[in-house]
Structure 1
Amino acid sequence: MQIVKVNNYEEMSEKAADLVTGLINQSKKSVLGLATGSTPEKLYDILVERNIRKEISFQQVKTFNLDEYVGLGENDLNSYRYYMNEKLFHKVDIEMENTYIPNGLATSLDKECERYEQEIQKAGTIDLQLLGLGLNGHIGFNEPGSSFNSRTHVTQLDQSTIEANARFFKTPEDVPTKVITMGIGTIMKAKQILLLVQGEKKAEILKKAIEGEVTEHIPASILQRHSNVTLITDISI
């Protein structure tokens, strides 16, 4: 694991953008695994700016997002499809048919999981998978206890995750309790993983994830077994 220590959130985002930019400029048909939440927001802002300046093009890029809330459609302000459209897709030159996010309103969630996994396989290997780290050690929404071999699946969110996500909703009761998430087995097949971790509140779980026992109780610990992980963080390790 390559660890890149930065001084602040802005520097973390710039270095992450440099990595993504370099990959796409090297291979125009890159397949990116993307994440949502507050951590990658600045990264997406920088990528938009670079696209406007024609330093990077998304015209041939394909993207696969980690997850989507069950019960939220693309026009819901809290859906991850809406987030990605607003933060990145509608602001760059990407073809919308090349942006893949699970359908949280699918009639059959099991079939949707199968379909999404098949789309990832059809695209070939994800070249770069962007990840954040949950306070309980989750990656994607693979909560503690998730199988390291899991593929795209429906999962119940831990109470701690629901509470952490409540800040994005009007009331805690509005937070969905289930999501469709890319599984750990799928994540681990990516050629390269970019893990962004910001804020001292995550210092303890980060240390366990990268230095502790590899255990399904801390899903992110499996990253110790990946051959190409870059961790960018402002936390002193």
Structure 2
Amino acid sequence: MRIYAAKDYKDMSRKAANLISAQVIMKPDAVLGLATGSTPVGAYEQLREWHDKGDLDFSAIRSVNLDEYKGLSGEHDQSYRYFMNHNLFDHVNIKKENTNVPSGLAQDAEAECRRYDGVIRELGGIDLQLLGIGGNGHIGFNEPCDVFEKGTHVVTLTEETRRSNARFFSSIDEVPTHALTMGIGGIMSAKKVLLLASGEAKAQALYDSCFGPVTPGVPASVLQLHNDVVIIADEAALAMIRQKTGWEGEVYDN
């Protein structure tokens, strides 16, 4: 696990985009595992800029997204399919048929989860998985619980997560109560994992994930067991790590 310090959100986003673009350049038909939420928006913006300059070609890239709200269509402006279209897919030359997001409207959600795991297997696995981290340590929508869920599954969102996401909706009552999410097994099977963290609200979770025990109570802590994890975090998110470890540099190998 290697941690890179970023000065601020903009610096974090550019560093993340550099790593993602390197993957695209090195393997033009790579499978990218993509994330949503406010954290990766800046990285997607930078990737769009480099694509517009002719530096990046997404024409052979395949993608799989981490999750989707149960009950929302891809046209709903708070769905993660809509998010990806709006923030990346509509602005680069990726083929939409090569982009994959779980269906929030599947009549049989459990069958949709099995189908989605099959899609990932058929693609040959994920080359680079992008992650954010929740204030409670969740990755994707894998919430703190008693066991690590291996495959894609339906999860009941915690009140903390729903409150955090309520800023994107008119009220918390409109925030879905369930989601379909890639499981810990799917995330851990990626060849490389890139986790981004920004803001002081993520400081405790980031410290616990990197330096605490590996426990499903802090889902991101499982990344300690992955052999190729890069974390890029801004100074606010790194505050507790710096305080408790005495780290003062720009790169930390844990």
Above 0.5 in TM-score? yes
2: distance between equivalents of 1:114 and 1:213? 30
**Could you tell me which residue of structure 1 aligns to residue 177 of structure 2?**
177
TM-score (norm 2): 0.92
Shift of 1:148: 2.5
**Could you tell me which residue of structure 1 aligns to residue 47 of structure 2?**
47
Shift of 1:150: 1.6
Distance change in 2, residues 1:149/1:180 (3 Å): closer
Runs of 4+ in 1 over 3 A off after TM superposition: none
**Could you tell me which residue of structure 2 aligns to residue 202 of structure 1?**
202
Aligned pairs (5 A) from 1:1-237 = 1-145=1-145, 147-234=147-234, 235-236=238-239, 237=241
2: distance between equivalents of 1:175 and 1:108? 21
Unaligned 5+ runs, structure 2 = 242-254
1: distance between equivalents of 2:207 and 2:214? 12
Q: Report Cα offsets for 1:74-114 as digits up to 9, x if no partner.
A: 11000000000000001000000000000000111011101
1: distance between equivalents of 2:209 and 2:168? 26
SS of the residue 1:179 aligns to: strand
Contact 1:146 / 1:219 at 8 angstroms: preserved in 2? no
Contact 1:39 / 1:132 at 8 angstroms: preserved in 2? yes
Distance change in 2, residues 1:146/1:19 (3 Å): farther
SS of the residue 1:125 aligns to: coil
2: distance between equivalents of 1:43 and 1:219? 23
Contact 1:129 / 1:190 at 8 angstroms: preserved in 2? yes
Contact 1:156 / 1:178 at 8 angstroms: preserved in 2? yes
2: distance between equivalents of 1:188 and 1:147? 15
TM-score (norm 1): 0.98
1: distance between equivalents of 2:195 and 2:182? 16
Unaligned 5+ runs, structure 1 = none
